[in-house]
Amino acid sequence: AQKITQTQPGMFVQEKEAVTLDCTYDTSDQSYGLFWYKQPSSGEMIFLIYQGSYDEQNATEGRYSLNFQKARKSANLVISASQLGDSAMYFCAMRVSGEAAGNNRKLIWGLGTSLAVNP
Amino acid sequence: KAGVTQTPRYLIKTRGQQVTLSCSPISGHRSVSWYQQTPGQGLQFLFEYFSETQRNKGNFPGRFSGRQFSNSRSEMNVSTLELGDSALYLCASSLIPGDNEQFFGPGTRLTVL
């Protein structure tokens, strides 16, 4: 079964420290993509970072990096130098290839991790 | 550049009614996807539209339907509302299907009483 698991319902971090949010995935597909999104209390999802299954280098975007360990099927998000504005829900998602041609938009989501950054 | 807009932002309906939600994608984006977000189930994919055609559909009953217009604006409709339909409905747009980056709207919070 294709599944995303985020085992940390809530996390706390001190401002300016780094934090790692866990994500493990399950798929039998060889080609897949992994995403992290941030959802502040306003509700909209904000794209943070993407890692393709064939990418050899870990993806980085500013203060965000994705620690991709393919053999362990994990795609943890690392946020460096946390800021108060980082307080939000964080979702890991996986895009898998569909059975039909072009069926490539189905994203499977984890239940999220609530991150609170303390001043 | 304006972001994805969704209207209305909040909606209260009663069981058995129907509802229509609207999504305007970012200018130039032609792909629109819809998601349902609930605390227990998380985000679940509803459907995706591109060039006025439904390209992909999630595992939702036929009460959930959608469409896309020639200007890429999309609507989703839920008929015969049930209490379990209470959720945040998110719309996301991208230039084309398969783009790694989707831009999400603020969502429509639907409450069914």
Which H helix or E strand runs over B103? strand B103-104
Render pLDDT for B63-108 as a digit per residue (tens, 0 to 9): 999 999 999 999 999 999 999 999 999 999 998 877 777 899 999 9
| A110 contacts in chain B (CB < 8 Å) | 42
Shortest Cα distance, chain A CAs vs residue B41, angstroms:
7
Token pair, residue A5, equals: 């698991």
State the pLDDT at residue A88. 97
Average pLDDT over all residues of chain A: 90
- As a whole number of angstroms, the distance between CA B97 and CA B16 comes to 34
Token pair, residue A90, equals: 């964080």
The widest CA-to-CA distance across chain B, in whole angstroms, is: 38
- As a whole number of angstroms, the distance between CA A80 and CA A60 comes to 11
Of the candidate ranges A51-60, A96-105, B31-40, the one whose mean pLDDT is the lowest: A96-105
| B105 contacts in chain A (CB < 8 Å) | 44
Phi and psi angles of residue A31, each rounded to the nearest 5 degrees, phi first: -110, 120
Confidence of residue B41 (pLDDT cuts 50, 70, 90): confident
Q: Give whole-number Cα distances, B23 to B8, B50, B69, in Å.
A: 9, 13, 11
DSSP summary character for residue B85 = G
Render pLDDT for B43-52 as a digit per residue (tens, 0 to 9): 898 989 999 9
B61 preceded by a cis bond (ω within 30 of 0): no
Q: Does A90 touch chain B (CB under 8 A)?
A: no
Shortest Cα distance, chain B CAs vs residue A19, angstroms:
23
State the pLDDT at residue A97. 66
Minimum-distance CB partner of A44 among B43, B55, B105: B105
State the pLDDT at residue A44. 84
Token pair, residue B13, equals: 């309906």
Tally C-beta pairs within 8 A across A and B. Answer: 60
- As a whole number of angstroms, the distance between CA B45 and CA B35 comes to 5
Using CA coordinates, name the residue in chain B closest to A106: B45
Token pair, residue B97, equals: 């299907």
Q: Does A54 touch chain B (CB under 8 A)?
A: no
Taking an 8 Å cut-off on Cβ atoms, the answer to whether B104 and A103 are in contact is no
DSSP summary character for residue A58 = P
Residues above pLDDT 90, as percent of chain B:
79
Query: Residue A15 is which amino acid?
Result: E
| A47 contacts in chain B (CB < 8 Å) | 101-104
DSSP summary character for residue B26 = P
Q: What is the mean pLDDT of residues B19-47?
A: 93
Q: What is the mean pLDDT of residues B41-62?
A: 90
B85-96 in b/e burial notation, b at 16+ Cβ within 10 A?
Answer: bbbbbbbbbbee
